[in-house]
Chains A and B, each alone.
Chain A
Amino acid sequence: MSATKLPTTRLPRRFRLYAFLFSVLVLLLAQSLFAQEPKAPADIFSSALAQLKQQTHLPILLPDHLPPLAQSSVYARASVDNDSYSVRIESDPDCNGANACFLGIFRAKRNGHLSYPVTLNLTTKTGKPVAARYKATTCGGSCSSPSIEWKSNGVLYTVQLTLHTKSEQQARTVMTDLAQESISAGPR
Chain B
Amino acid sequence: MPDPITAAFQQCQQLGWIPFFQSAASDHSFAPELLMAMGYRESNLNPKYLTVPGDNGHGYGLLQVDIRSYPDWVNAGFWKDAQLCISKGAEILASKRDGITAAIGQTGITVKTLAGQSFTFDGAPISGANLLRVTVAAYNCGMWAYYHYSKGHDVDQGTTGQDYSKDVLNNTARFQQLLNSA
Chain A residues near B (Cβ < 8 Å): 70-71, 88, 95-102, 105, 107, 113, 115-118, 135-145, 147, 158, 160, 162, 164, 168-169, 172
Contacts and interface: CB of A to CB of B under 8 A. Distances in A.
B9 interface: no
A142 B115 contact: no
Contact of A105 (B55, B88, B162): B162
Contacts of A168: 113-116
A154 to B, nearest CB: 18
Range of interface residues on B (Cβ < 8 Å)? 35 or more
Contacts of B145: 140
A164 B57 CA distance: 11
A140 B161 contact: no
A79 to B, nearest CB: 11
Interface stretch (B20-28, B150-158, B172-180): B150-158
A117 B157 CA distance: 11
Interface stretch (B11-19, B40-48, B122-130): B40-48
A28 B11 CA distance: 58
Given A142-B139, A144-B140, A145-B160, A70 B56 contact: yes
Nearest to A144: B141
B43 A160 contact: no
10 contacts: A70-B56, A107-B162, A117-B117, A118-B117, A135-B158, A140-B145, A141-B69, A141-B96, A142-B64, A168-B115
Contact of A97 (B89, B159, B167): B167
Contacts of A162: 55-56
B59 interface: yes
Contact of B59 (A71, A105, A143, A158): A143
Contacts of A169: 115
B32 interface: no
A117 B161 contact: no
Contacts of B144: 135, 138, 144
B66 A142 contact: yes
Nearest to B57: A70
A115 B59 contact: no
A149 to B, nearest CB: 9
Nearest to B112: A138
Contacts of B46: 98, 100
